[in-house]
Amino acid sequence: MLFLPCLTYLYTMGSRATPGRATDQEGTVSDDYVTMREAQEILGVSNFTVWQMVKTGRLTAYRSGTDRRKKLVRRADLTALQQPQPIDDAPDDTKKAAA
C-alpha cells in the first residue's frame, strides 16, 4: 500500500515523456539537448570521460528545468566533437621559423 502512490507517479511520468530523453517545462521531448548517458552512448565513451570533458571545458553541461539532478548536453556540441580535427605534425622548430 505504501508503494502505490510512487508507482502511480512513475506511471504518469512515463506517459508524459520518453525515459532518458531531455524534457522541457511542458514535458515534451527536446531534440536540442541529450542526457549525459545519451551523450556517452553517442560519443562511444565512458561516463567518466564525458564528465572529464565537462570538467576541462570541451563540453558544457546544463541543468534540466524539470529535474535539477539531471544534467544535459547540447546535441550540437556533441556533433562538433565528432567532426575530424586537423593534425598538426610539424615540429616546434618549424612553427617558429614560419612565424
Predicted confidence (pLDDT) at residue 88 exceeds the cutoff of 80 = yes
Q: State the chain's mean pLDDT as an integer.
A: 75
Q: Give CA separation, 95 vs 1, 48, 87, 90, in Å.
A: 72, 35, 14, 7
- φ, ψ for residue 7 (rounded to 5)? -65, -40
Q: Would you give the end-to-end CA distance of the chain in angstroms?
A: 75
Exposure of 81 in the CB half-sphere (CA atoms within 13 A): 20
pLDDT at 26: 46
pLDDT 10s digits, 57-87: 999 999 988 888 999 999 999 999 998 888 8
Instruction: Pinpoint the alpha helices (H) of 1-99.
Output: 4-16, 36-43, 47-56, 75-82, 92-98
For the question of whether the overall pTM of this predicted structure is more than 0.75, the answer is no
